[in-house]
Amino acid sequence: MPSEAAPGPSHALTMRPGTGRAAAARRMGTALLVGAAALLPSACIRSLLNVGKVIEGVAADSVALNVVLIGDAGLPAPGGEPVMQALRREIAGNPQRTIVVYLGDNIYPRGMVDSTETERRENERILDAQLAPLLETGTRGIFVPGNHDWAAGAPQGWQAMRRQAAYVGARGGDLVRVVPQGGCPGPVVLDFDDYLRLIVLDTQWWLHGEGPALKPYGRTSPCRSRTEEDVVDSLRVDLATAGTRRTVVVAHHPLVSGGEHGGYFDWPTYLFPLHPVARLGGIFARQDVSGREYRNMARHLERAFAAAPPLVYASGHEHNLQVFQERSIARHLLVSGGGIYNHTTPVRAITGSQYTRRAAGYMTLTFLYDGRVRLSVHVVDAAGQSTEDYSAWLETARIQRPPAAGTAAPAAVPAPP
C-alpha cells in the first residue's frame, strides 16, 4: 500500500536575472535579437531530436510499477479522443502495477464551473473522458492541478479547483482523485513499496496571486505547507527521507522548456513581434519561465532540490514532448503535454535536450524490481495508435533487495490529508 510521508542559484535556461526598467529594456532588446535570429535559416534550431531512437524492452515479470505521464488532456474530442484510446490500450495489460498521472490542465478553458452554468455539462464530459480509461481497466490515477484548472488564473480559480476535486473524487472512488486537494501547494508524498516515492505539487498555487482570499495561504491555511518556505522545507525532508526509493516530482509547470512557455516560438510568430517580445521580456508572462512569479517559483524549487535532486521532475504545460538531462535541478526533466491529438505547439532542442517532438502522446516510467528505471515516449496518431518513439534508461544502478520484497503491487492511491 502506498503511504503518505510525514512533514517534515538559478538555472541559466529558466532564469532571466535583473529587475527594474533597465533590466526590462535589456530583456526586450534580447527578445528582438532572438526574434530576428529566428527568421534566419542559419539560426534554426532543431525541432526534432532523437526521434525513433529506442532501446531494448523489459520482461513483464521484471516490472514493479509503471507510471504513465500525460498532460494537458483537458479538451478530448467528443467523438473519441485518440490519445485516450491509446492510453486505455497501454494500461489494460497490467492495471494493477500501473498508475496514471494527469499533469494538469485537465479542463479547458477555465476549469470546472458551477453546476448552474451551461458549460458545466461539457466540463463533466471532459473529465469523464479522462476517467474512462482508468475506471474501465481498474487502473489507479491522480489528477494534478494546472493553471486552466484554476479558472485560467481568474480570482475564482480556487473554487474551480475544489469543484474539480469533488467531482473526480465522487466518480473515481478509491481509484482516482485530485492531488493535492483543496488548492494546497503540496508536497503530497505517495510511497509505492520501496520502489518509488512520488511527490506531487500544485505549482499554480505559486502563480495564482497573493493572499488568503485567492488561495490557501498563511496562518489561516489548512494545508501542510502554508507558505513558500514551508513548501521548500517539506520538499527537502521528503527527498532526503526517500531511502532506496527512486524519487519523482510531478507538477504542471516545467522548470526548463524549449517550447513557447520557455521563450521559443515558431518563426511565423515573429511576423507579429510584439507578442513574443513582451513574453520574453517578462511582460504578461505569469505562465512563462520569464515571468516574475514563475522565476520566483523556480528559484524556490531549485533550492529545495539542491541537496537531494530527484531522479525525475515531470510536467506538462507545453503541448509537446520533451526530455532533458539536467543534474542541477533534477537528473532528468520531462515535459509530457501531448494529451490531445492535433493540439500541439512548437518545440526546439535546446541545451540539455535529449528528445523533442511536436506530437500528441504520453510518457511511461517503468520501475523494475532490481532498481532500474526505463523511460518510454509514446506518440499517438489520428487513429489512436501509439508508437514508442524514444526510450532510454534513466537509472541503471541496481539495488539488492530481499527476495520477498515488493512482490505485491500497491492497491490504491491514498486520500491526501
Q: What is the DSSP track for 93-107?
A: TSGGGEEEEE-S--S
pTM over 0.75, yes/no: yes
Write phi, then psi, for 108 (nearest 5 degrees).
-95, 150
What is the CATH number assigned to the segment(s) 20-395?
3.60.21.10
Residue 34 confidence class, pLDDT cut points 50, 70, 90? very low
Decide if pLDDT at 70 tops 80.
yes
The predicted structure's pLDDT at residue 352: 94
Inter-residue contact 152 to 115 (CB < 8 Å): no
DSSP string, 336-405: E---STT----B---TTEEEEE---EEEEEEEETTS-EEEEEEEE-TTS-EEEEEEEEEE-------TTT
Could you report the per-residue pLDDT of 365-408, keeping only the tens digit for each?
999 999 999 999 999 999 999 999 999 999 999 998 765 544 45
Pairing, β 386-395 against β 373-380: antiparallel
Could you report the per-residue pLDDT of 135-145, keeping only the tens digit for each?
999 999 999 99
The C-alpha atoms of residue 208 and residue 6 are separated, in whole angstroms, by 26
Residue 268 confidence class, pLDDT cut points 50, 70, 90? low
Bond prior to 109 in cis (omega within 30° of 0): yes
The C-alpha atoms of residue 289 and residue 154 are separated, in whole angstroms, by 19
